[in-house]
Amino acid sequence: MLQSNYIHEVCRLANPKWNIRVETSLNVPWENIEALIGDIDEWIIDIKDMNEDIYKMYTGKPITRMKKNLLKLKEFVPIKKLHIRIPRIEGYNSEEDIQYSANWILENIGVKAEIFSYLVLPHTANKR
């Protein structure tokens, strides 16, 4: 989303029959999102967590901009075009945190969030 001008140009040049999807965290200036509202057919939003402390611990950024953008986006984009994902992130969020986030999304956005697990691969030694 930080390259919204480029994304807009690609969408403008794309075959109009194509469905354009974007996957984003929405943690960008609103102007970047607003510029693409007419271009994007489906929004896949990875929110990480709705708990401010967990969000900041994982992303290094405050949750404020993402939350404001999410609430604003629902005013411009039909709910059926919004897909919100909440990851289980080992060492960051618990099942209670995930349920809190899913409930917040349902109550405030009107979307049932998709919950999924990040795959954590064990460190393997180099065998020679």
- Residue-wise pLDDT tens digits, 35-91: 999 999 999 999 999 999 999 999 999 999 999 999 999 999 999 999 999 999 888
**Token pair in block for residue 26:** 């929405």
pLDDT score of 107 more than 60: yes
Quick check: 70 and 47 in contact, CB under 8 A? yes
- The closest alpha carbon to 43, from 67, 12, 19, 9, belongs to 19
Q: pLDDT tier at 109 (50, 70, 90 boundaries)?
A: very high
pLDDT score of 118 more than 80: no
Whole-angstrom Cα distance, residue 111 to residue 105? 6
Whole-angstrom Cα distance, residue 45 to residue 65? 14
pLDDT in tens, 31-48: 999 999 999 999 999 999
Question: What is the DSSP-derived secondary structure letter of residue 122?
Answer: P
pLDDT in tens, 8-25: 999 999 999 999 999 999
> Can you give the pLDDT at residue 21?
96
Whole-angstrom Cα distance, residue 128 to residue 122? 18
> Can you give the pLDDT at residue 122?
61
> Can you give the pLDDT at residue 91?
84
Tell me the backbone φ, ψ of residue 28, rounded to 5 degrees: -135, 165
Quick check: 4 and 36 in contact, CB under 8 A? yes
> Can you give the pLDDT at residue 124?
43
Task: Give me the chain's average pLDDT, please.
Answer: 92
